[in-house]
């Protein structure tokens, strides 16, 4: 059966009015145009939908069934139209976001504030390492990603959100906590706890050390910033991590930031998407919200 929404809409009007003339008036069409559309629908169905008894137009049994389905179809069409009106108004819809692990604290606060303004949206949020984020972007699985600067050659569009300082941390009882302007070469002789090779933090650190012609005497590799903080608190060495991972530890005096020459290493957080990706109205609104409000939720700019 080959039918159109227009035919169903006209058929429903005729069935409600039981008159081609009144239906035509309601639809602002000519009577012949209405009759032609109903005739085409009947030809498509292969059975008559109306019959004339005396001078009164009546639905046939097939017409009754067609009317029942036509009403359901038109109701569904109205629901779809309403849904997309709501999506345009940002009251509903889905948003798929991924966040680099070190950005988790401020990003989740930022996202929570956005969801509070749009409580009916469906949110899919993932906090993951850099490799996973790049894989998700490559597979077009995420609307937007908050992370450090991505590789330039991967077909991605990245815009800066705010600074991401990398700092050196120590437990409060470490002797260097009492020092000011600690020379970089002196602190490099300490044992360090660092992120794994390939992470954004590790890449930035290696570039920084190469630029200054120094290297660490010894280091322990760990796969997350949370593990680094726990290792430093346990006395396994000094740590290098994003300032934005340290809010709770600094407030509770469980870690101290060392005053080391040439530190902090200033990186940036970026909002990243596939180049050429067409964002939904909701994702576009989230993007605008991030650029306007990120620093308010960083934990250090209130």
Per-residue model confidence as pLDDT tens digits over 28-47: 999 999 999 999 999 999 99
Is residue 223 pLDDT above 90, yes or no? no
How far is 259 from 257, CA to CA, in rounded Å?
7
Is residue 302 pLDDT above 50, yes or no? no
Backbone φ, ψ for residue 272 (5° rounding): -120, 140
Res. 91 pLDDT band, cuts 50 70 90: low
**60-83 average pLDDT score:** 87
Is residue 86 pLDDT above 80, yes or no? no
Is residue 103 pLDDT above 80, yes or no? yes
Q: How many domains does the chain have?
A: 3
Query: Do 119 and 25 share a structural domain?
Result: no
How far is 99 from 102, CA to CA, in rounded Å?
8
Q: Which domain holds residue 248?
A: 164-267
Among residues 88, 113, 148, the one where a domain terminates is 88
- Is residue 302, in this structure, part of any structural domain at all? no
Query: Do 168 and 46 share a structural domain?
Result: no
Query: Do 173 and 147 share a structural domain?
Result: no
Of the given ranges (1-5, 224-228, 264-268), which has the lowest mean pLDDT? Answer: 1-5
Residue 101, pLDDT score = 86
**189-207 average pLDDT score:** 87
- SS percent in the chain: helix, strand, coil, step 5: 50, 25, 30
How far is 92 from 283, CA to CA, in rounded Å?
11
SS3 19: coil
Query: Do 168 and 249 share a structural domain?
Result: yes
Res. 289 pLDDT band, cuts 50 70 90: very high
What is the rounded average pLDDT for all residues in the chain? Answer: 89
The helix-helix angle for 20-27 and 31-45 (nearest 10°) equals: 110
Q: Which of 83, 90, 88 is nearest to 121 (CA)?
A: 90
Q: Rounded to whole angstroms, what are the CA distances from 160 to 2, 106, 109, 143, 226? A: 52, 15, 18, 17, 24
**Whole-number percent of the chain with pLDDT over 90:** 58
Cβ atoms of 174 and 278 within 8 Å: the answer is: no
- Is residue 27, in this structure, part of any structural domain at all? yes
Neighbours of 106 (CB within 10 A): 28
SS3 161: strand
Read off the pTM: 0.67
Q: Residue 162's beta-bridge partner residues?
A: 269
Query: Do 131 and 62 share a structural domain?
Result: no
């Amino acid at each position: 059966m080959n039918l159109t929404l227009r035919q169903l809409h006209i058929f429903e009007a005729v069935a409600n009015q039981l008159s081609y003339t009144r239906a035509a008036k309601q639809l602002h069409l000519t009577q012949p145009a209405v009759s032609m559309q109903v005739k085409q629908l009947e030809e498509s169905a292969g059975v008559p939908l109306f019959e004339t008894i005396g001078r009164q137009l009546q639905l046939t049994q097939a017409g009754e069934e067609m009317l029942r389905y036509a009403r359901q179809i038109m109701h569904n069409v109205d629901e779809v139209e309403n849904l997309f009106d709501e999506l345009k108004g940002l009251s509903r819809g889905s948003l798929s976001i991924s966040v680099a692990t070190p950005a988790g604290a401020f990003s989740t606060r930022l996202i929570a504030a956005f969801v509070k303004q749009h409580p009916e949206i469906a949110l899919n949020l993932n906090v993951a390492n850099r490799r996973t984020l790049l894989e998700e972007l490559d597979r077009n699985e995420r609307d937007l990603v908050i992370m450090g600067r991505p590789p330039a050659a991967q077909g991605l569009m990245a815009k800066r959100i705010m600074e991401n300082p990398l700092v050196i941390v120590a437990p409060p009882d470490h002797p260097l906590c009492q020092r000011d302007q600690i020379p970089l070469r002196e602190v490099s002789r300490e044992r360090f706890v660092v992120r794994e090779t390939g992470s954004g933090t590790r890449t930035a650190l290696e570039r920084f050390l190469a630029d200054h012609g120094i290297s660490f005497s010894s280091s322990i590799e760990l796969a997350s910033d949370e593990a680094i903080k726990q290792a430093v608190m346990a006395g396994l060495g000094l740590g290098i991590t994003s300032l934005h991972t340290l809010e709770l530890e600094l407030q509770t005096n469980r870690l101290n930031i060392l005053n080391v020459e040439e530190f902090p290493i200033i990186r940036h957080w970026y909002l990243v998407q596939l180049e050429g990706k067409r964002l939904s109205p909701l994702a576009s609104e989230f993007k605008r919200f991030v650029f306007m409000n990120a620093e308010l939720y960083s934990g250090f700019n209130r």
